[in-house]
Structure 1
Amino acid sequence: MSVTGRVLQVNIAVPERSTAKRVGTTGINKQPVTHPVAVAAPGGARGMLSPQHASGVAGDQIFDIKNHGGDDQAVYAYAREDYDWWEKELGRTLPGGIFGENLTTEGIPVNGALIGETWQIGATLVLQTTFGRVPCSTFQAKMGEPRWVKRFADQNLPGAYFRVVTPGNVQAGDEIRVLDRPDHGVTISEGFHAWMRAPDLLAQIADLEGLPESLRAEIRHKLKL
């Protein structure tokens, strides 16, 4: 079990007003903390939990609970290396947390992780990838970039959502180890591309290990299975 990366930042929501959605408040504004943070499964699905309990990261808040949060989106991670790419593309500095992720990582390919891959972070925390982050109007409003939802989707660099397999604490500097990779070989980026841009590929991801059951049902509905 080799070390493949580390947590660069742990980010927690600082709620702010949003004009992009009816919820009125958003938790996309995430700021780094220096202390250990407890991570555990929220214990439900999207739309079933309060903003204070929709995230798996203690102290975090998710206000658009219809589209975000719950056990299959308990933690969101984005790689510093992909931020660096976006900085060149946009010509501006992008601090960790601006995309709304809980964990800013380095040294591990978040978008290259396989759907259903498990990571150990620090001493006890174990997470499993579920799917990529689908961009929304709140994200576009936060970024202030023209046609941001489309631009973000087109690049297939969505970052990864995780479910919590084993609860534990996380803090900046924690090592990340890959514990297990499924045999199917489909990455977060590839699954995201199929969902967003390539409906002809959906059949290839419908039955993947680790895929959220809610998303699996949506895919099967689209495919009329």
Structure 2
Amino acid sequence: MRLRNKPWAKDFMEEHPDILVLEPEQVKEGWHQLFGNNNPIHVEVGTGKGQFVIGMAKANPDVNYIGIEHFDNVMVSALEKAIEADKPSNLRLLRANGNKLVDIFEKGEIDRLYLNFSDPWPKTRHAKRRLTHESFLNLYETVLIPGGEVHFKTDNRLLFEYSLVSMSDYGMKLRYVSLDLHVEMPEDNIMTEYEEKFSAKGQPIYRLESQFDNR
């Protein structure tokens, strides 16, 4: 999908440093101080237009949420939503790439990580770009606390199957697996924009919760 250029995006983001962190590397090991508490930190990699992470922040005030997005033209949409939601104090948005997590967070600084509707990179030669590839799992394990969790949603069956195998082979414990989340529809489920779109078409939403070794 081609993103429409928004030449005003950078200036707009710079106007809201209270919620959007443009240089997150400078906050490494200081995220709890930035939030002003020791509440758990949950991170969404690839936050898109922000509906999920903002909804989670509003629903769970005792958890700190961080949404990471690489593209300026998408991040400004998340920022606009955060402003409309009165900038929840337990929310921060980061303009960053998900493969830079170890530059942004100290070892064990995150409690949970969310991957929602990530790019499936369907071609075999692009497998290393999938956010559930072994190399990314290694990054997640580094920044998560011992026993930290990864929660994953997708509409792509092949990516879901790949992720189940990848996480199992890595030694992660699969705590919850759903082949059609909306049949069960947990009360605390916050939908992303893509989730609303795909579920409205009758497509199943796949979800899993996995956990690293508690050592």
* TM superposition score normalised by structure 2: 0.31
Q: Which has the larger helix fraction?
A: 2
Q: Which has the higher contact order (CA 8 A, sep 6+)?
A: 1
